[in-house]
Amino acid sequence: MEKGRDGAAAPPLKMLDRKRGCAANAVLVAFIVTVPSMAILFGARSSASALWIGSANASRLGKRTVFHLAQCSLRPPLTVFFFGVCLGGLLADNGFDERSCHSRYEFATYRGNAGRKPSPYLVTKLRRHEALQRRCGPGTAAYSDAVEQLRSGKSHPGAIGSPECRYLVSISYQGLGNRILAAASAFLYAVLASRVLLVDPSNEMGELFCEPFPGTTWLLPPDFPLTSYANFSIHTAESYGNMLKNKEIDAASTTAQQLPAFAYIHLDHDATMEDKFFFCDEDQRVLRDLRWLVMRTDSYIVPGLFLVTRFQEELGVLFPEPDAVFHHLGRYLFHPNNHVWGFITRYYDAYLATAHP
């Protein structure tokens, strides 16, 4: 084995090549994850007022019409109704109680722009993911089996329950904007990796938005076995980065039977180089065999997912317009609950309803 300048054994060339390749991805991720957030926060300012005011004429006609999503499946897919109210098929047309989420049915009357059109493949993929959430989510036998596997500490995905049901827990923290960006990022990863998304309900995530998936919940149940998950940090021993650093996991040779019961994915602002190996293909193959992942991020990591080779082809079909990813995910996921929607509509009626475009 070759010696380094200090006389210590030099790392194998294969490891150096892996580190160099993944390091390039990690540096690029560190640079670009902040750009979409700035575009989201600042790029929409110029058009926000126009969208609100553009619906003023409709409001003057009296009581607003409440559209039923069940009508989406009855309308031709190229009508203004389909793209305005149904968001081009983003929203499911069944499984929701209209009374549970007024904003999902009323928001279209407050917008003067139907937005950008989702790809047919994205619509299909969302329906499949909703079915996965229902099959494997809280309250199902599959979820109970997966929780028992987590409690038991068994690592092999086939040890208990269905290997189809794998989970991603998204930790909610920082400000509301960070929480929204983190949840959208976690959701896209869950879709790409065929994982059930469970969102930490703390920090008001369970009190601000309606459930996005029909017939199930996206909120992590209170009896989740990892009781200290909200305190996971860069120092957590079970973090994927630390397990790589401490050689408890080797992306090239670790088998499914050797994996732990779960891994913590630390993609916060202080993530290490080893943490950012998450964006490498070889590491994604390892993570695929873990039943449970717990993720913390305070950033919009979607651009990093576009760097993962195994995801690139599908992302290209899901989002032919890559700059519209958050546009579609945000409109699908985040509908204010009735209490919050009441504040929004009362403010609109008091200050914007009579404004002239």
49-83: per-residue pLDDT in tens? 333 333 333 433 344 444 455 455 544 444 444 44
Tokens 């940090």 correspond to 233
Determine the pLDDT at residue 4. Answer: 47
CA–CA separation, 157 vs 140, rounded Å? 17
- Report whether pLDDT(166) > 80: yes
* Cα–Cα distance for residue pair 233/313, rounded to 1 Å: 32
CB 76 within 8 Å of CB 82:
yes
pLDDT of residue 43: 43
Task: Tally Cβ neighbours within 10 Å of residue 22.
Answer: 22
DSSP 3-state of 158: coil
pTM: 0.81
- Rg (Cα) of the chain, in Å, rounded? 22
pLDDT band at 209 (very low <50, low <70, confident <90, very high): very high
Count CB neighbours of 6 within 10 A: 6
Question: How deeply is 51 buried, as exposed, middle or buried, from its count of CB atoms within 10 A (0-12, 13-18, 19+)?
Answer: middle
Quick one: CA torsion of 58, 60, 61, 64, rounded to 10 degrees? 60
Query: Over the chain, what is the mean pLDDT?
Result: 80
d(CA 116, CA 188): 18
Q: Determine the pLDDT at residue 109.
A: 76
- Beta bridge mates, 9: 3
Per-range mean pLDDT, top range of 13-17, 57-61, 136-140: 136-140
Choose between 115 and 219: higher pLDDT: 219
pLDDT band for position 84 (50/70/90)? very low
Q: List helix spans (H) across the chain.
A: 13-32, 34-43, 45-53, 56-60, 80-84, 102-106, 120-136, 141-152, 176-192, 205-208, 240-245, 281-287, 302-305, 309-318, 325-333, 338-351
Average pLDDT over residues 174-186: 94
CA dihedral 134, 108, 86, 69 (to 10 degrees): 60
Residue 106: per-residue pLDDT: 85
